[in-house]
Amino acid sequence: MNILSVDFGTSSLKMAVLDESLNVLSSTKVEYSYEVIEKHKIQIDPEIVFKAFLKGLKDLQDFLRKIDIIVPCVFSPVLVAMDKEGNALYPAIIHLDRRSYPQSKFALKAVGKDNFLRINGNLPFPGGISCTSILWIKDNLPEIYKKTYKFGHFNTFLHRRLVGEWIIDPSNASFTGMYETFKLDGGWSGDILKALGIAADKLPDIVPSLSIAGRLSKKAASLTGLREGIPVAVGANDTTSAAYGAGAVEKGDILNISGSSEIVTITTDDPKPHEKYYVRVSMESGKWLYLAITVGGFALEWFRKEFYKDMDKKYFYEVYLPEVLKKNINTDVKFKPYLAGDRHSLVKKKGAFTGLTFETTREDFLIGLLIGTYEPVFNALNICKKQMKLNPTIYWTGGMISDAYLEFKKRIFKGFNFDMKKDCSIMGNGKVALKLLC
């Protein structure tokens, strides 16, 4: 059996062909760029992402006729307004977007904080919970709202394109703000939809992640070079797939992803809502993920470009940064990690450095920035310690993993060990395929 595993990320996609032992037979990566307008409007044309998918397939052309199943995972939320044919009527509004603060305030007032947490498990954070983006379109682009046949996330757009179905999985549905997250096999919340004034018929069907979305259509086969009729799995959000791939599937298991964002997930079978973390359905029914997220690698790259212009990028990451991480990490500099706002706040926030003196060096700034990015992560872990026994070994993955960074993390995550894992989302997709076909 050959598995096509596709991980659609914020700024690139990774694809791999796996065998039934989850060995990587071939892989590729394709980058793309999102658009930033007026600093807080952050979006991408979903066609750009789909074309990147087609481009990546060309790199794997020797395997295309041998693929037996496709399993995707997607960055989330990525709100797409589509017509009846599945074409995007407006650029996809991604998780970094913060344009919908007014709609967030309206949603909180209309539904109520306690009701949002009790039903969906999440507050209507602007951009981070996509009902706020739907409301923004409704308020600011009424003609687009009227023409929209379905609102969905990127996997809704993708599955419509590949198999002709209008679907979304529970992990993505959790991050719409309109899903009954705590119910086994939950559905769209009539109470929330009524309060927000969003029509249920504009939303896709909710289908379990561990199921088949449909069969690759003739048109999609012609576009991709893959065989017509092969199954396409529903899949999940990329973080959910990463937790599944890493093996963080039992209560108290922790996954830390260090990439463009700094993310932690904690698995539970007894979910309790809290405003300091998100709650989403896990890959498997009866399991949930607590999630905390903040800017990570994006903040580091911003800092490098602004404060290390004298240093070559390759040298900075491969030589200078590892040397800094090996040094004493004590610094008085504190960093508030809100360069892109705060996905855990209904109030607009900005990043800030404090604790500066005439003795402060740029290394102090750098260490302060790296430690500060973990504030939401530590908040979530401290809350969860009161709910359950946490696994002392954290599964760790992402583009920033390195031996030097590992030693740094051990010093700031006191009481935890780290088990480094590679390509967790890709492997999680592979495990989905094995579950469905074996």
The predicted model gives 60-77 an average pLDDT of 97
pLDDT at 293: 87
Provide the domain count of the chain. 1
151, pLDDT greater than 90:
yes
| 278 — pLDDT class (breaks 50, 70, 90) | very high
Is 380 within the bounds of a domain? no
pLDDT at 109: 97
Q: Read off the pLDDT of residues 161-173 as tens digits, 9 standing for 90 and up.
A: 999 999 999 999 9
417: in domain: no
Whether 36 is covered by a domain: the verdict is yes
| Domain contains 430 | yes
Question: pTM, whole model, 2 decimals?
Answer: 0.92
Q: What mean pLDDT do residues 395-424 have? A: 89
Higher local confidence (pLDDT), 323 or 26: 26
| pLDDT tens readout for residues 333-363 | 999 988 877 666 667 778 899 999 999 999 9
Taking the alpha carbons of 338, 343, 345, 346 in that order, is the dihedral positive or negative?
positive
CATH code: domain of residue 108? 3.30.420.40
Residue 21 pLDDT level (bands cut at 50, 70, 90): very high
Average model confidence (pLDDT) for the chain? Answer: 94
Give the domain extent around 60.
Answer: 3-239+425-437
Type of residue at 427: M
Residue 347 falls within a domain, yes or no? no
